[in-house]
Amino acid sequence: MRYSGFRVLQQAMTGHKGWQPAWRDPDPKPHYDIVIIGGGGHGLATAYYLARQFGQANIAVLEKGWIGGGNVGRNTTIIRSNYMLDGNEPFYEFSLKLWEGLEQDFNYNAMVSQRGILNLIHSDAQRDAFTRRGNAMILNGADAELLTAEQVRREYPFLNFNNARFPIKGGLAQRRGGTVRHDAVAWGYARGADRRGVDIIQHCEVTGFRIENGICRGVETSRGFIGAGKVGVAVAGNSGRMMAKAGMRLPIESHVLQAFVSEGLKPVLPGVITFGAGHFYCSQSDKGGLVFGGDIDGYNSYAQRGNLPVVEDVAEGGMALFPGLGRVRLLRMWGGIMDMSMDGSPIIDRTHIDGLYFNGGWCYGGFKATPASGWCFAHLLATDTPHPTATAYRFDRFERGRMIDEKGMGAQPNLH
Ligand SMILES: Cc1cc2nc3c(=O)[nH]c(=O)nc-3n(C[C@H](O)[C@H](O)[C@H](O)COP(=O)(O)OP(=O)(O)OC[C@H]3O[C@@H](n4cnc5c(N)ncnc54)[C@H](O)[C@@H]3O)c2cc1C
């Protein structure tokens, strides 16, 4: 069923009795050409682009829980391409361009809102660093704009410009950045993939790989063995555990990241703002809640919930920037598991096992990457060659010392 304004009107006139499920609930077949493990944003986007771009039809996505239950439905919804390094910027700009046409492409309202993102500047040295970053973005075909404190004040008059420790001296704006309704992205890709014949199998946990003579022949699951020509792993925070079943030890640690939503307010925040002197970022949802987050919890965990010290830390960052936040009640909070790589950048690569491919290491920034990650992983699975924007995302960069360390923090996930 194609969605359109006409369809909504037609359904309204007939008691909304004609809507069909957005995707089927098939039983697994004994064998697929390609099996994707993980029904998060990246796994579903991969299946969608495999079917749409690369003409593959015999594909399954295996999800241990339900569609949208992982990080794709837990993030703070920010999209942007304000990266600096060559390995990263073309990839994230490709992703932002895909977001711009995504809703028309998969015929689903994902509430893509290019309301802009503003990284605040608090010192002269930071202005220099952000100027350099903005120039790198422009050279890579992205948009960037350096704002003075007065320009920031016109857009965000309630910020604490004269904070003694962290005065606001300007900002780096990317007007094409913004927010997207996170779970709708999973639903849109799931529906789009299903319409092209992909089997989306929920409540099907992969418990192991069947590897014979160095070739991956399929996966063991809670619903039996499923044979596969190729297996693509896209399980985000569970990457370490999953690949250990294939005997691989990854340069990835799993950490918790929390998100927070306040009570609904009248429109106050026109775009996304980030604090430049600590880790705090905030936007306002269309329902009025302030959606914000900060640092990871800092210890390794697979639990999808966090701890109170980080709540205090995030609230302190918010208050330094936005003192009025102290009057707002916090309504909801939750956690997700981050696949933190050692240089803060992802991996989209083949493994040393024939037929086994890996996508992960997204840290706390993989939502914005969803369309490009899906496209590039599909490209790799279909053609066995990396997509031109993802050539740097290889396993061997850790061995060869060719890290893509965007923040220059070194191999410490809790500092990214
Ligand atoms: C609080 C928070 C805020 C964030 N904010 C942002 C943001 O503002 N912008 C941004 O760009 N990124 C953000 N991120 C990061 C982003 O959400 C993730 O990097 C991205 O969603 C990860 O990819 P995914 O969608 O495929 O992951 P997931 O949705 O987690 O998908 C992985 C799936 O694999 C499944 N799985 C795991 N093991 C198995 C198994 N054995 N068998 C079958 N299935 C399995 C899981 O159940 C899960 O559904 C945030 C994350 C969190 C938690």
pLDDT tens string 1-30: 899 999 999 999 999 999 999 999 999 999
Is pLDDT of 191 > 90?
Answer: yes
CA angle at residue 46 from 42 to 47, to 5 degrees? 125
Could you state, in order of their start, the residue ranges of all structural domains in the chain?
25-81+84-107+182-251+343-415, 117-177+254-341
Burial 289-300 (b: 16+ CB within 10 A, else e): bbbbbbbbbbee
CA distance 25 to 194: 10
CATH superfamily of 117-177+254-341: D-Amino Acid Oxidase, subunit A, domain 2 (3.30.9.10)
Angle at 224 between CA 220 and CA 230, to 5 degrees: 45
Q: Which atom of ligand 1 lies at the shortest distance from residue 256's CA? A: 53
Give distance in angstroms: CA of 236 to centre of ligand 1: 5
Between the CA atoms of 47, 48, 51 and 54, what dihedral angle is there, to the nearest 10 degrees? -90
d(CA 140, CA 290): 32
* pTM as predicted: 0.97
**Average of per-residue pLDDT values in the chain:** 96
Task: Give yes or no for residue 68 CB within 6 A of ligand 1.
Answer: no
Cα separations in angstroms, 370 against 92, 109, 236, 406: 10, 16, 11, 19
DSSP state of 267: S
Cα gap 85→188, rounded to integer Å: 31
Atom 4 (ligand 1) nearest CA:
75
CA of 327 to the centre of ligand 1 (A): 31
Ligand 1 site, residue 336, Cβ cutoff 6 A: yes
Atom of ligand 1 nearest to the CA of 363: 19
Q: What is the pLDDT of residues 327-359, one digit of tens each?
A: 999 999 999 999 999 999 999 999 999 999 999
Say how many C-beta atoms besides its own lie within 10 A of residue 203's C-beta.
12
Asked, colleague to colleague, whether 25-81+84-107+182-251+343-415 and 117-177+254-341 share their fold, the answer is no
The confidence score (pLDDT) of residue 272 equals 98
Q: What is the mean pLDDT of residues 363-377?
A: 97
Confidence of residue 411 (pLDDT cuts 50, 70, 90): confident
Which atom of ligand 1 lies closest to the CA of 65? 47
- Beta-ladder partners of 329: none
* The token pair that represents 208 in the structure block: 């192991």
Distance CA 110, CA 112 (A): 6
d(CA 99, CA 345): 20
Instruction: Report helix, strand or coil for 64.
Output: coil
- Ligand 1 centroid to Cα of residue 65, in Å, is 12
Q: Which atom of ligand 1 is nearest to the CA of 41?
A: 25
Both tokens of 212, joined, read: 């014979």
Mean pLDDT of 173-179: 98
Pocket of ligand 1 contains residue 38 by CB under 6 Å: yes
Quick one: fold of 25-81+84-107+182-251+343-415? FAD/NAD(P)-binding domain (3.50.50)
Show the tokens assigned to 390: 């993802």
